[in-house]
Amino acid sequence: MLLAFEPKRLPLFPDAPTARELGWDITMGVYYLLIAPKGTPAAVVQAVHDAAKRAQEDPAFVAFAKTRGFDIDYAGPDGMAQQLWESFRRNEALVKRLGLRK
């Protein structure tokens, strides 16, 4: 059985249910990030951010991503930080519950 761990069904596999639809409250999205080292000058961070945002909004990139099943969901620096912390907390609880420790 093919299923998706995304919050909603994937456009490339519309007949594949989500884990939630099958009764498991699990989502495990994929993140594609640009991360700069601590101490990177704010002007450099802003320039990279602005260039990346323009690139992902380009119609050619949007079409490319869509044909490959990628859903572009821009969160911005603060929104992405919040999503990562939430994911960390969810996965930490799952790891403990499953007893997955070194």
| pLDDT tens sequence across 68-83 | 888 888 888 888 889 8
Number of Cβ atoms within 10 Å of the Cβ of 4? 19
| pLDDT tens sequence across 42-77 | 999 999 999 999 999 999 999 999 898 888 888 888
Give CA 64 to chain center in angstroms: 17
- pLDDT band of residue 94 (cuts 50, 70, 90) is confident
Average pLDDT of every residue of the chain: 88
Q: What is the three-state SS of 52-99?
A: HHHHHHCHHHHHHHHHCCCCCCCCHHHHHHHHHHHHHHHHHHHHHHHC
Model pTM score: 0.67
Nearest-5° Cα angle at 53, 51 to 59: 105
Q: What is the pLDDT of residue 26?
A: 81
Number of Cβ atoms within 10 Å of the Cβ of 84? 14
pLDDT at 6 over 70: yes
